Chain A
Amino acid sequence: MEALLHNLKLSWFSIKRAPLPYALTLLILSLGLGTFFSNATLYYWMNRDPIPQKSATLFMARINSTPGDCTDCFEPPRVMSYMDMQKMSGSGIPSAEAAMFSSDAYAKTVENQQATPSQVELRVTQRDFFKLFDVPFLHGETWPDNKARMEVVISKNTALKFFSRTDVVGQEMLIDDKLYKVIGVLDDWAMLPRLYDVNGRRSAEPAEDIYIPLETAYDLAIQSNTQNSYFDVDWDGNMATYPQMARTNFANQLQFWVQLDSPEKVQQYQQFLKNLVADEKAAGRHTRPESNKLDNILDVQKAMRATNEQLDAFALVASLFLLVCVVNASHLSLNRYMANQYEFSLRRALGASRWQLQGQILADVLFSSVLAFAAALLFAQLGLWTINSLLPSTRALAGWDWQMVAVMALFVVLISYLVTLYPALKTSFSPLNQQLKQ
């Protein structure tokens, strides 16, 4: 400990000797690290497993059910019809299953009807949604079945926003001027990335405000705000006929998720889909080639071609920028070390081994790491703010957990050591006599 303090004192003396070059080195290094961290933060959030305890069991199911002949169309539609969803439900194989789509609406409380309604994000779904994705309830519970009912589950923030408290089970809300009763309030919950909704590249967005039963949404003609695909639909646009039309035509807007708890269950469900398609073909309905998809939740972004290439490009640029900064910082660091080389040579002459000099260099690295880490975090926050401004869909990805901070701290130490390594070696192995002869 005493040696470390001594070496830190030496580092401080070294900084004081040439503060501007040191500050410049630190600035370049922390700028590179900050840029890298801001991109790494987004990359981490977008590529992490959001539900590691059960991600292996969650699958999005699709069948290649689109009207019309096409012998070489093997990619199933991204969203499915109500008819197909019904056929894929109720097999008894998944331990949970739910169809869903996202929408939006305007909401206000019954008590405050004169107020301007606030826009809210909706998730139209079925009762198992909360079980599928381990969504915690603070108060109340999910719907007892998948039937239409004027009941909603709301997020904790929504409860606080509209009622200024969380225990609002039994309270009523107006959503697009329709009256709903609150039957459940969720606890704090965020799924990042939101892999149950990668369609429309919205997986970086926060969880929804209000959850509405699927059948109710169909009855009230609430439609997806992400993707609607109509195939061979002859509809006059009369909203009164929408529920019937949407349930009996290829008015595709649903995604369908299942929980399959073992490889055997996966196999069984694949076989179930195969049999389903065979039956459909026999009935003359499934005209395209059989191409059932059962994509695991961790593969769904790739399967839906919903990866964010902008983030990948940012990550590449940030890595290259960090490399340039490291090379420049190393060059500046080399100049600083060479300016102090006589002191290293003197220490060697006085009996310090190269290994003991490494102790001094590690103290330099520690000193630089602490300062660079603090500055890099500031630059990273600035970078995240800039990226969030340029790409608003990434605004939910700006946070750090303690593990990320720990990894970033270790990374700073590693990079600081890399920056110091060549100058340190150069200094440690240079001829002693030339420096000491003045």
Chain B
Amino acid sequence: MIKINNLSKIFRTDLIETHALRQINLQVNEGEFAALTGPSGSGKSTLLNVLGTLESFDQGDYLLDGRSVKGLSDRELSALRNEKIGFIFQGFNLIKDFSLFDNIELPLRYRGFSAAERKRRVEQALETVGLAARRDYHPSQLSGGQQQRVAIARAIAGEPRILLADEPTGNLDSLMARQVMELLEKINQQGCTILMVTHDPDQARRANRHIQIVDGQLNDATMYEPLASEPLVAGA
């Protein structure tokens, strides 16, 4: 699914060069739920951004579904992000003026779906995250956990092959974090590959693969057994 070979990323200023990623090799297979951990500044978010094609890289190659993203045009990269990748951000990144429906619908518009198809997908995604009754609410009317579930609905509405989650529970309390994690596990069980950056060892333990990054280099030796899912708390 994801294969990167000898990938390096350097941030340059006039005075300094920072090697954010050094000669990274990584393969993530279809259906995996991988947790990417590491200390602050280790390069985990940079790696996630490179994988999400939000960031370019300097050396090496990145193959998504067997196709190199190197040299792709802006339009091709945008289409790739839109069709194959779903993003979940720590800060949710919902548009506050939009209703939940409009927020989830946004990436589907860029894909050129008809209004009917968009509606079907949005309603299905809202159903999946348990917010179908609140489709006309605005983000400010929701709790943090609910907002993150809307963001997840937005990410999965286009039925992407891979979800990239950057500290998806970082802004949530433990109860809401657990609900979000359970939702991600459910999505993963339906076949969607997930790569999640997290600081939290407990969250990382819920993934079935643990990838550690330190000083821009990978240590991919640990494999966790998935934890038994805990039930959702009603009314969240």
A binds B: yes
Contact A343/B95 with A351-B78, A437-B166 known, Cβ cut-off 8 Å: yes
Bound-complex Cα distance A58 to B124 (A): 77
Contact A438/B90 with A349-B54, A349-B81, A353-B75 known, Cβ cut-off 8 Å: yes
Contact with A along B37-58 (1 / 0, CB 8 A): 0000000011001001011000
Smallest distance from the beta carbon of A356 to chain B beta carbons, Å? 6
Smallest distance from the beta carbon of B12 to chain A beta carbons, Å? 13
| B87 surroundings in chain A (CB, below 8 A) | 349-350, 436
Contact with A along B159-203 (1 / 0, CB 8 A): 000000010000000000000000000000000000000000000
- A402 adjacent to chain B (CB < 8 Å): no
Contact status B95-A346, CB under 8 Å: yes
- B97 adjacent to chain A (CB < 8 Å): yes
Contact A431/B55 with A3-B109, A352-B78 known, Cβ cut-off 8 Å: yes
- B225 adjacent to chain A (CB < 8 Å): no
Smallest distance from the beta carbon of B233 to chain A beta carbons, Å? 26
Contact status B107-A350, CB under 8 Å: yes
Smallest distance from the beta carbon of A332 to chain B beta carbons, Å? 21
Contact status B78-A433, CB under 8 Å: no
- Looking at the complex, which one of A6, A348, A431, A436 makes contact with B78 (CB distance below 8 Å)? A348
Please name the residue on chain A nearest to B160 by beta carbon.
A351
Contact status A349-B52, CB under 8 Å: yes
Contact with B along A1-31 (1 / 0, CB 8 A): 0110010000001001100000000000000
- A432 adjacent to chain B (CB < 8 Å): yes
Smallest distance from the beta carbon of A77 to chain B beta carbons, Å? 70
| A347 surroundings in chain B (CB, below 8 A) | 106, 110
Smallest distance from the beta carbon of A180 to chain B beta carbons, Å? 73
- B79 adjacent to chain A (CB < 8 Å): yes
Contact status B75-A433, CB under 8 Å: no
Smallest distance from the beta carbon of B84 to chain A beta carbons, Å? 10
- A395 adjacent to chain B (CB < 8 Å): no
Contact status B78-A353, CB under 8 Å: yes
Please name the residue on chain A nearest to B86 by beta carbon.
A350
| A343 surroundings in chain B (CB, below 8 A) | 95
| A350 surroundings in chain B (CB, below 8 A) | 81-82, 87, 106-107, 110, 154
Contact with B along A260-279 (1 / 0, CB 8 A): 00000000000000000000
Contact A346/B55 with A2-B115, A354-B74 known, Cβ cut-off 8 Å: no
Within 8 A of B (CB), among A171-222: none
Please name the residue on chain A nearest to B90 by beta carbon.
A438
- Looking at the complex, which one of A351, A354, A436 makes contact with B111 (CB distance below 8 Å)? A351
Bound-complex Cα distance A354 to B78 (A): 8
Smallest distance from the beta carbon of A341 to chain B beta carbons, Å? 12
Q: Give the interface centre of B52, B54, B81, B166 by most chain A CB atoms within 10 Å.
A: B54
- B89 adjacent to chain A (CB < 8 Å): yes
Question: Which secondary structure dominates where chain A touches chain B?
Answer: helix
Contact status A351-B79, CB under 8 Å: yes
Bound-complex Cα distance A17 to B154 (A): 23
Contact status B49-A433, CB under 8 Å: yes
Within 8 A of A (CB), among B53-111: 54-55, 74-75, 78-79, 81-83, 87, 89-91, 93, 95, 97-98, 106-107, 109-111
Contact status B81-A351, CB under 8 Å: yes
| B79 surroundings in chain A (CB, below 8 A) | 351, 353
- A342 adjacent to chain B (CB < 8 Å): yes
Please name the residue on chain B nearest to A438 by beta carbon.
B91
- Looking at the complex, which one of B54, B83, B106 makes contact with A433 (CB distance below 8 Å)? B54
Smallest distance from the beta carbon of A306 to chain B beta carbons, Å? 57
Bound-complex Cα distance A349 to B165 (A): 13
Smallest distance from the beta carbon of A166 to chain B beta carbons, Å? 60
| A432 surroundings in chain B (CB, below 8 A) | 49, 54-55
Bound-complex Cα distance A347 to B111 (A): 12
| A356 surroundings in chain B (CB, below 8 A) | 78, 110
Contact status B55-A6, CB under 8 Å: no
Smallest distance from the beta carbon of A361 to chain B beta carbons, Å? 15
| B166 surroundings in chain A (CB, below 8 A) | 437
Contact A6/B109 with A432-B55, A436-B54, A436-B89 known, Cβ cut-off 8 Å: yes
| A433 surroundings in chain B (CB, below 8 A) | 45-46, 49, 54-55
Smallest distance from the beta carbon of B102 to chain A beta carbons, Å? 9
Please name the residue on chain B nearest to A17 by beta carbon.
B97
Please name the residue on chain A nearest to B112 by beta carbon.
A3
Bound-complex Cα distance A431 to B154 (A): 22
The 10 closest A-B pairs by CB, nearest first: A351-B82, A438-B91, A353-B78, A350-B107, A13-B97, A432-B54, A433-B49, A351-B110, A353-B75, A352-B110
Question: Which A residues fall within an 8 A CB radius of B?
Answer: 2-3, 6, 13, 16-17, 342-343, 346-356, 431-433, 436-438
Question: Which B residues fall within an 8 A CB radius of A?
Answer: 45-46, 49, 52, 54-55, 74-75, 78-79, 81-83, 87, 89-91, 93, 95, 97-98, 106-107, 109-111, 115, 154, 158, 166
- A sample of 19 cross-chain residue pairs with beta-carbon separation below 8 angstroms, ordered by A number, consists of A3-B109, A16-B97, A17-B97, A342-B93, A343-B95, A350-B106, A351-B110, A351-B111, A353-B79, A353-B110, A356-B110, A433-B49, A436-B54, A436-B87, A436-B93, A437-B89, A437-B166, A438-B89, A438-B93
Given A343-B95, A350-B154, 12 more pairs with CB closer than 8 A: A342-B93, A346-B95, A349-B54, A350-B81, A350-B87, A431-B55, A432-B49, A432-B55, A436-B54, A436-B89, A438-B90, A438-B93
